[in-house]
Amino acid sequence: MDPDDDPAPFEAEPQCPDCQAALESGGRQAISFLLVDTLTVPVVGCDAHLEEFRAICELTTEDSADLLGHLPAGGIQCPACRNRDQSGGMPLVFVEAGAVGVLACETHATDTIECFKSGLQTRQQLGANGPF
Ligand SMILES: [Zn+2]
Ligand SMILES: [Zn+2]
């Protein structure tokens, strides 16, 4: 028999099966690169949720946020990000039903998550048409 109840290694898992598959591969197969402001961070997730993630991060910058499917021309500037050991798990950013894994060093993962959070706030304010 093959019990289907193995305990989840994460606190929570994305509902999106495509994100799950991408995350389970540990980013070895499907790394994309998010370029926003001065950050260049490798990220893992399905196309739809990566795009959502990018769009939300873009709200925090006056420039555009870009998502590349290959290593950017300038490479990754931060040596700690470049050498990050991907076997130790990665912080997850939940984007609606999906999740994006951030394969950066702690500093840049935190920066990326902050960027996403403030983008979300901006979007809520835009969408809510607020009580002002
Ligand atoms: Zn997804
Ligand atoms: Zn870094």
pLDDT tens-digit readout, 121-130: 999 988 765 4
Question: How many other C-beta atoms can be found within 10 angstroms of the C-beta atom of residue 86?
Answer: 14
pLDDT for residue 10: 46
Distance of alpha carbon 19 from the chain centroid: 11
pLDDT for residue 33: 94
Whether the full predicted model's pTM is greater than 0.85, yes or no, is no
Question: 82: exposed, middle or buried (C-beta count within 10 Å: 0-12, 13-18, 19+)?
Answer: middle
Q: How many CA atoms lie within 13 A of 61 on its CB side?
A: 18
> Distance from the CA of 85 to the center of ligand 2, in angstroms?
12
> Distance from the CA of 131 to the center of ligand 1, in angstroms?
32
- Structurally, the chain folds into a number of domains equal to 1
DSSP H helices, the chain, are 17-24, 47-58, 79-82, 106-128
Is residue 11 situated within a structural domain? Answer: no
Q: Which ligand is nearest to the CA of 18?
A: 1
Is residue 130 situated within a structural domain? Answer: no
Is residue 74 situated within a structural domain? Answer: yes
Is residue 7 situated within a structural domain? Answer: no
Domain housing 41: 16-125
- In this structure, what DSSP letter does residue 5 have? -
Is residue 61 situated within a structural domain? Answer: yes
pLDDT tens-digit readout, 13-70: 899 999 999 998 865 666 899 999 989 999 999 999 999 999 999 999 999 999 999 9
Is residue 131 situated within a structural domain? Answer: no
Question: How many other C-beta atoms can be found within 10 angstroms of the C-beta atom of residue 117?
Answer: 14
> Distance from the CA of 44 to the center of ligand 1, in angstroms?
10
Is residue 36 situated within a structural domain? Answer: yes
Is residue 27 situated within a structural domain? Answer: yes
